[in-house]
Chains A and B, each alone.
Chain A
């Protein structure tokens, strides 16, 4: 008996009801195409921001730095860093390197104090590492060796400063003393996340080394890898290599082990699975309700086909297939509509500016969802599976209908 054909014919007997059932699953599927695409976009965005601005794909630091991070322990730095960067440059896994000094500072301007986060960078390397040109909205990059800075436009606005203006900052030096220096603003930058925009500036590495009394040391080296190499594998290998290079005080860690932001996004991804499960189950209740109504209405039919020789399991399979077709068609339609809605946002992005204001995480204000296998094929399979499994219970009820009792109603 060709159950598939019969099931397919049966769902077209009451088109409106079938479409209603399909749409419940379809709406849930459509929503989750967008949500999973959004999460994937967020993961990629966070990864890029961390790689570029915070941790690199792999970061080298003094082994004790993280423990005393809150005290800004500049004396726990990477000594003779140029020796290290020369060796790293020659490694085939390494694409780009960024030696940096990060330091918290207070800026005094006309009786007011502004807290800021400074960073000393080698602008010759950084132009490529950060692709800096895309972030400079006014002016030019500072020159190495000069008391010039790039200031985030949010910080400049707060201090009421513009291109060509000077400001003096005061901070703790490596020797745990204090020093101050005056910089001139040669460029303004705009980043897409508030954590940088409101407090960030960059100065030439050599000038920062000078005024922080760092000599030939930096506080960290960030590494971006060539595309075929795994950050986890490289970090593990580099950690051993550093000891071989007679640098046992240094450690190499991959970015996922450093930042909590990415962990939160991954956790959100996992939570979405659970939320999606709830939504698909909710959508499935419509199919379940439809199945139960159908079984009740078609009791005579069930009795007839049972009397004609269809076994109990075959009846169950028949109704299960009807539910499966409804779920599959609904999911497919939902996924296709979801792709249609999501696709323009993958190009133009979505601006969460107001919502992300003040959020101190490495997530951009403007996010672009990313359509992928998980947000399309997986959503289709997941929603079809959940809806089908949920429909199995009412389908089994059809086997309990006794033919004699069903036919008595004729």
Chain B
């Protein structure tokens, strides 16, 4: 083989190697990176929304409407607007939950086992509303690979609680690889029993963020029970006075 032929062979070999390498991702995302991108989408500086909660159980269906305000992922206020619950409010400040009822002379602060009670008979508990530290602060994340959920490719990530201050010791979430939103979440007990399933059905995009506006929670400990949340309108990044999340405001 002469010099020119050798040069040609080397060039072909290099080209083949480059084309092979280009089919591989330059950097595969870690579980932590996926979660960071997920949280960037679903945690808003401020948000105001209106929606309804459709609770289905063995006795039939019940619809409750609400308005809500949120600041970050540590403060939120929900006010119920349907006839039966009109004027009732739930204030969340970090891990504290306060309930206001128009007929009660005092605000009820939920603690301990009371946090595991369901919100208005739904499949969501008050404890589900707590938290606020980022997932990575509370959980160790492990990438389990990819799976398809509702026809969309998702990262499957398993979370194990680092300590005790979380509602679920273990969670598995399926995060859309394109939109970085949850498509499905499973919550487990310490004994690895599936306690709840959350499925996201619809999404919206605002100010560069994509987040779910319709999702269903099923409490697997109850038979024939599910709760559908529908966010009918939502605005993010708006002005909300911090005083809205005070106990004084709660009783107005």
Q: Which of B63-110 contact A (CB under 8 A)?
A: 64, 84-85, 88, 99, 101, 103-106, 108-109
Collect the chain B residues with CB atoms within 8 Å of residue A37's CB.
Answer: none
Q: Does A372 contact B (CB under 8 A)?
A: no
| B-contacting residues, A41-83, CB 8 Å | 73, 75
B62 touches A177 (CB 8 A): yes
Contact B104 A177 (CB under 8 A): no
Interface presence of A178 (CB below 8 A): yes
Map CB proximity to B onto A109-121 as digits: 1 under 8 Å, 0 otherwise.
Answer: 0010100000000
Q: Which of B84, B101, B108 contacts A175 (CB 8 A)?
A: B84
A179 interface contact, C-beta 8 A: yes
Taking the closest CB of chain B, its distance from the CB of A77, in whole angstroms, is: 13
B121 and A176 contact, CB distance less than 8 A = yes
- What 0/1 pattern do residues 161 to 178 of A give for CB contact below 8 A with B? 000001010101101111
B105 touches A213 (CB 8 A): no
In the complex, the answer to whether B62 meets A179 with C-beta atoms within 8 Å is no
| Among B57, B84, B113, B114, contact of A177 (Cβ-Cβ < 8 Å) | B84
Q: List A contacts of B62 (CB < 8 A).
A: 175-177
Interface residues on B, range: 20 to 34
Across the interface, which residues of A come within 8 angstroms of B181, CB to CB?
none
Q: Are A177 and B64 in contact (CB under 8 A)?
A: yes
- Cα distance, A308 to B13, chains bound together (Å): 141
Evaluate contact between B103 and A178: CB separation under 8 angstroms: no
Judge if B221 is at the interface, Cβ distance under 8 Å: no
Q: Which of B64, B101, B121 contacts A172 (CB 8 A)?
A: B121
The reply to whether A111 and B85 form a contact with Cβ atoms under 8 Å apart is: no
Residue from B99, B105, B109 within 8 A of A111 (CB atoms): B109
Q: Are the C-beta atoms of B103 and A182 separated by less than 8 Å?
A: yes
Number of A-B residue pairs, CB cutoff 8 Å, is 61
Interface residue? B27 (CB, 8 A): no
Answer whether A168 and B57 are a contact pair too, CB < 8 Å, given A176-B62, A181-B101.
no
Q: Which of B64, B88, B106, B114 meets A106, CB within 8 Å?
A: B114
CB pair B103 A180 closer than 8 Å: yes
B101 to chain A: closest residue by CB: A180
Interface-centre pick from A73, A180, A181, A213 (highest chain B CB count, 10 A): A180
- State whether A168 and B113 are in contact (beta carbons under 8 Å apart), knowing that A175-B62, A176-B55, A176-B59 are contacts in the complex: no
Interface residues of A in 158-217 (CB under 8 A from B): 166, 168, 170, 172-173, 175-182, 210-211, 213
Find chain B residues with CB under 8 A from A179 CB.
85, 88, 101, 103
Interface residues in B106-124 by Cβ distance below 8 A to A read 106, 108-109, 111-114, 119-121
Which B residues lie within 8 Å of A135 (CB)? none
Contact residues in A for B101 (Cβ distance below 8 Å): 170, 178-181
The smallest beta-carbon distance between B56 and chain A, in angstroms, is 11
Separation in Å of the A112 CB from the closest CB of chain B? 9
Is A378 on the interface with B (CB-CB < 8 A)?
A: no
Per-residue CB contact flags for chain B residues 187-228 toward chain A (1 = under 8 Å, else 0) read: 000000000000000000000000000000000000000000
Contacts of A178 in B (CB 8 A): 85, 88, 101, 119-121
In the complex the two chains form, what is the Cα distance from A180 to B85 in whole Å? 11
Given known contacts A113-B113, A177-B62, A180-B103, is B108 in contact with A168 (CB within 8 Å)?
A: yes
Q: Which single member of A170, A177, A181 contacts B121 (CB below 8 Å)? A: A177
Q: Is the CB of B121 within 8 A of A180?
A: no
Interchain CB contact under 8 A, B105 and A182: yes
A108 adjacent to chain B (CB < 8 Å): yes
Contact bitstring A86-114, B, C-beta under 8 A = 1, else 0: 00000000000000000000101001010
Check B114 against A181 for contact (C-beta < 8 Å): no
Contacts of B85 in A (CB 8 A): 177-179
Residue of A175, A181, A213 with highest tally of chain B CB at under 10 A: A175
Closest to B106 in A: A168
Q: Are B59 and A75 in contact (CB under 8 A)?
A: yes
A176, B57: Cβ atoms closer than 8 Å: yes
Is the CB–CB distance between B114 and A113 below 8 Å? yes
Known: A108-B109, A111-B109, A175-B62. A181 touches B103 (CB 8 A): yes
A321 to B62, CA, bound (A): 80
Minimum CB–CB distance for B179 against chain A, Å:
34
Whether the pair B114, A182 counts as a contact (CB closer than 8 A) is no
When distances are taken between beta carbons in the complex, the residues of chain B under 8 Å from A111 are: 109, 111
B120 touching A177, Cβ below 8 Å: yes
Q: Which residue of A lies closest to B90 (CB)?
A: A178
* B78 to A: closest C-beta gap in Å: 13
Which residue on B lies nearest to A168, using beta carbons? Answer: B104
* CB-CB nearest in chain B for A178: B120
Is A170's CB under 8 angstroms from B108's CB?
A: yes
26 A-B residue pairs with Cβ-Cβ distance under 8 Å, sorted by A, are A73-B59, A108-B108, A108-B109, A111-B109, A166-B105, A168-B104, A168-B105, A168-B106, A170-B99, A170-B101, A170-B108, A172-B121, A176-B57, A176-B59, A176-B120, A177-B62, A177-B64, A177-B120, A178-B88, A179-B103, A180-B101, A180-B103, A180-B108, A181-B101, A181-B103, A182-B106
**Residue ranges of B at the interface with A (Cβ–Cβ < 8 Å):** 55, 57, 59, 62, 64, 84-85, 88, 99, 101, 103-106, 108-109, 111-114, 119-121
